[in-house]
Amino acid sequence: MITLNGYTVEIILACTAIESIALFMGLIGAVRAPLNRLATAFIVSVPVIYVLNLIRDIFVVVAYGEQWFGADSFVIAHNYIAKAGSGIALFAISYLVLLTLPELLGMIDGIWVIFSKELRSILHMSRED
């Protein structure tokens, strides 16, 4: 709980970017590539996500505590500005990681192929029932 000027914000687990960090760690860890490229992909993703999320959380707390956007400061800061910024940042980080580890694209495509085959199989089975 962080209070600024009488306005309190609770930082919950979802506000820590732990899901994004875990996703990128899993993707990077699943690829066989030279260590220097794996390290580069790690550096352009995990620490960057961590720092950007700290900035995001600080922005929301200050915007709400200072009432930058009036009575709806929390909603505007958190739900609109911070989420849009997070989406843009994750898109850019994903792009950099894919440039660094092009093997990831093949892995993602392989997962898509398996998923679509399974889905077609399930849909085909349900039509027969």
Sign of the CA dihedral with 81 first, then 84, 88, and 94 last = positive
Mean pLDDT rounded to a whole number for the chain: 89
| Cβ atoms of 61 and 15 closer than 8 Å | no
Task: Note the pLDDT tens digit of each residue in 80-104.
Answer: 999 999 999 999 999 999 999 999 9
| Alpha carbons 32 and 30: distance in angstroms, whole number | 7
**CA angle, corner 46, sides to 25 and 85, nearest 5?**
120
Q: How many CA atoms lie within 13 A of 55 on its CB side?
A: 12
Task: Note the pLDDT tens digit of each residue in 108-119.
Answer: 888 888 888 888
Q: Which residues are catalytic?
A: 15, 56
Task: Note the pLDDT tens digit of each residue in 6-54.
Answer: 888 888 777 778 999 999 999 999 899 999 999 999 999 999 999 999 9
Domain borders along the chain are 2-103
Whether the predicted model's global pTM rises above the 0.85 cut: no
Q: DSSP assignment, residue 67? A: T
Q: How many CA atoms lie within 13 A of 126 on its CB side?
A: 6
